Structure 1
Amino acid sequence: MAETPPAGTDRRTPWRRELLLERAEQAPDALALFAVVSARLRRMLPFDAAIWRATDPVTGLMTAPIRVENLAEGGCTAYWGTEASPEAVIPFRELATAASPAAALGEATAGSPELSPLYEAYLRPRGLGDELRAVLRVGGRPWGAVSLFRERGRPAFTAADTAFLAGLSGPLAARLRSYARPAGEPVPLPPDGGGAGLLLFTPEGRVVSANDAAWRHLARLPRVAASGAAVGRGGGVEEVPVWIRTLAAAGEGRLRVRDLDDRWLLCHASRLDGEQGFTAVVLEPAPVSEVARLVVETYGLSARELEITRLISAGATTGSMAEHLGISRHTVRDHVKAVFAKVGVTSRGELVARLFTEHLEPAALAHTVRVTTEP
């Protein structure tokens, strides 16, 4: 259990805050940032468990990396299911645009956190009594989110705690934003060694060379739409899907596909210089931040339906969507019904929960670090 400062003691001195932000500026990546900030923040604002997440700045949905402290595996579906509930208290989607980016469950429920769906579904089963959460936002965009938890029986988070965490939102979000990877920069290799696969095609569509990562990716691709164009490898035969051959024939372009492990792959082609006219096709794991923006496309949604889905994820009401899009409320409802039918859900909460549990959670698991900290 984390230590609670004696009454009248305030560890949140200006120099401690500045030291925390100084260490944050020195962190080389988001995961390191979460680790150093969490360790120093615990000394000033004690908590027993925490979850630090990067979020997609466009949709506000969770991406990666994720740092989980002192919480066992499991429970993600319950957590995000309640987050999408109409009865949710201080949901992240509201904090993204609220006057303050931070809020505590105990304070928001006037000392009765059990009134929140989150309490029964997630906090109580884990012996937790209160949550202080914040959206890390800057420039009107959410770049991260944090949940701090205290065990049941411990003092609830105070208004001073909430104000202090809110004051860290902008600086930490700015640091997260600084890690944004420029377009075209290579995607980092995943922990399982999947890496970037390379296939080299002749102008006739024949594979003349490929690396080991390419074979691993091909082996995990669905066997639908596979053509008869096969290449040998070590006595075996690997089928090259027709959509990869089509991409190679075009000589340029990019597309995305989910493999059998529910991971998104980016596939892009580039015509090489030289008389032979070879084309290189690269298969690589998609960044989770890109997955957050793209998962809705898997359901064949129209451009308008994509926009409706994005607004639903952001917590927009029917009226605000109608005003934003310049259409009637009746038309908005028709679009929402069409989205529900295509995705196979019956409510907005179920829609957001499905986007997380079926798409974002599998993509983020390889980028989640789970640790146990000392008091």
Structure 2
Amino acid sequence: MATTPTADRARGELIAAATEAPDALSLFDAASTRLRRVVPYDAAVWRATDPITGLMTAPIRVENLSDEGCAVYWGSELLEGDVNRFHDLARARVPVAGLRAATGDLPRRSSLYRQFMQPRGLSDELRAVLRIGGRSWGQISLFRAAGARAFDAADTAVVDSLSIPLARRLRSFAPAPPTAVPGAAPAGPGLLLFDEHGTLISANDDARHHLEQIPASPSTTTALGLPVPAWIHSTALRARAVADGLDRGPARIRMRSSGGLWLVCHASCLRSADGTLGPAAVVIETAAVSEVAPMIIAAYELSTRELEITEQISRGLSTHEIAAFMSISQHTVRDHIKAVFEKVGVSSRGELVAKLFTDHYEPLTRTGTDRHDHHS
């Protein structure tokens, strides 16, 4: 569906502002300010996602919503089999959909509407996946209050036109190396246990340390006095959904600390001797090279063949050895290496390996505080 000149102009301004944004949270701020002019809404959530698993990660920007509803929202998304699931939108022809449009204007068919939206005076949600190259780099949820018109095809078209440009910009942030800040030694694996209701029942000291290094996110206060970010709750819920057979795929996300160090958060459900599902165990730890490399490589838009050659370079193979290993000519190998150097912005093999694999693991003796408060 064609957009209006006003929408086209606003879209251009939004993309220009997003291109200049220095980080994901700044991008969300700039995009929200401009999008609201052509697609009015009363509340919103902008999220970064792990491009490998599609799960929410940090940072997150929340507008005009309190933090306490996060668990309810993701419970509907992951455990209720609701309509317009992000998992499905990521693979849909159009990665944008309105709740009232999808339910034939019968929103009560949705558990999200009944349990999360209606109690908060919200009548419709337009949600979008920001994707490029087959991967999701972000999600948007726009809400309208009771009494407002439903999101229509024109609203959907505007947001759909932003999916690729915003995803491309989010993807461009992945290669940024961490900022070395003097301080304490890194923590070991952090462990958090959640009961069947999603309530935090136990956490070790390393988990507390890791959470102190995470950029500010919508969080739920727990009885342990430890604020639990929404992305931890959603990862734990994904693990329970997978264990219950309601979802599939890994309950795993990669994210960055305030100092830019890559961390991995993964979850699984424990079972008792009789097979009954027990607590969900969530582990946060420093990410291995193998965890982050796919994200960094995707950010540089390397082709499958370029990726294969890059992996051989990282193993220390010469041009002759790579050619023999891949059964191609040395001339072809050199052409691919030249293309890789241009995409990554390096001029030697050593620089390439450092930029793709080494720079992200330089020890950070202390992670600084770089808080990005969300709006509520």
TM-score, normalising length from structure 2? 0.54
Task: Kindly indicate whether residue 9 of structure 2 is the aligned counterpart of residue 15 of structure 1.
Answer: yes
Distance 1:10 1:96 in 2: 26
| Alpha-carbon spacing, 1:47–1:355, altered in 2? closer, same or farther (3 Å) | farther
1:137–1:144 Cα contact (<8 Å) kept: yes
2:80–2:111 Cα contact (<8 Å) kept: no
1:68–1:369 Cα contact (<8 Å) kept: no
Q: 1:341 aligns with which of 271, 287, 291?
A: 271
Cα deviation 1:193-243 (Å, max 9, x = unaligned):
xx8514xxxxxxxxxxxxxxx7xx69x989xxxxxxxxxxxxxxxxxxxxx
Distance 2:179 2:204 in 1: 17
Amino acid at match of 1:197: A
| Alpha-carbon spacing, 1:136–1:346, altered in 2? closer, same or farther (3 Å) | farther
1:262 corresponds in structure 2 to 207
Percent identical pairs in the alignment equals 44
1:51–1:66 Cα contact (<8 Å) kept: yes
Distance 2:251 2:91 in 1: 13
Task: Kindly indicate whether residue 178 of structure 2 is the aligned counterpart of residue 186 of structure 1.
Answer: yes
1:103 corresponds in structure 2 to 97
1:30 corresponds in structure 2 to 24
Task: Kindly indicate whether residue 64 of structure 2 is the aligned counterpart of residue 75 of structure 1.
Answer: no
Q: How does 1:241-280 map to 2 (within 5 A)?
A: 259-260=204-205, 262-263=207-208, 265=210
Unaligned runs of 5+ in 1: 1-8, 190-194, 199-213, 223-257, 267-283, 300-304, 315-337, 361-365
Q: CA deviation at 1:166?
A: 1.2
Unaligned runs of 5+ in 2: 192-202, 218-230, 253-267, 286-369
SS of 1:150's equivalent in the other structure is: strand
Distance 2:64 2:5 in 1: 23
| Alpha-carbon spacing, 1:148–1:309, altered in 2? closer, same or farther (3 Å) | closer
Q: State the structure with more CA Rg.
A: 1
Distance 1:134 1:44 in 2: 16
* RMSD (Å) for aligned C-alpha atoms: 4.1
Distance 2:275 2:76 in 1: 16
SS of 1:135's equivalent in the other structure is: strand
Distance 2:156 2:276 in 1: 35
TM-score, normalising length from structure 1? 0.54
Cα deviation 1:156-177 (Å, max 9, x = unaligned):
1001111211111110000000
2:25–2:372 Cα contact (<8 Å) kept: no
2:83 corresponds in structure 1 to 89
1:370 corresponds in structure 2 to 374
1:205 corresponds in structure 2 to none
Q: How many residues align?
A: 240
1:90–1:108 Cα contact (<8 Å) kept: yes
Structure 1 segments, 4+ long, off by >6 Å, are: 344-347
1:196–1:285 Cα contact (<8 Å) kept: no
Q: 2:165 aligns with which of 142, 165, 171?
A: 171
1:130–1:150 Cα contact (<8 Å) kept: yes
Task: Kindly indicate whether residue 148 of structure 2 is the aligned counterpart of residue 154 of structure 1.
Answer: yes
Cα deviation 1:99-154 (Å, max 9, x = unaligned):
11110000000001111000111001110000000011111111010100000111
Cα deviation 1:43-67 (Å, max 9, x = unaligned):
0100000000001111111111110
| Alpha-carbon spacing, 1:188–1:95, altered in 2? closer, same or farther (3 Å) | farther
Q: How does 1:291-330 map to 2 (within 5 A)?
A: 311=249
Distance 2:209 2:54 in 1: 19
1:122 corresponds in structure 2 to 116
| Alpha-carbon spacing, 1:359–1:74, altered in 2? closer, same or farther (3 Å) | farther
Distance 2:275 2:43 in 1: 33
Q: CA deviation at 1:339?
A: 6.2
Cα deviation 1:288-317 (Å, max 9, x = unaligned):
9xx98xx78xx9xxxxx9xx9862669xxx
1:51–1:67 Cα contact (<8 Å) kept: yes
Q: CA deviation at 1:355?
A: 7.7
SS of 1:371's equivalent in the other structure is: coil
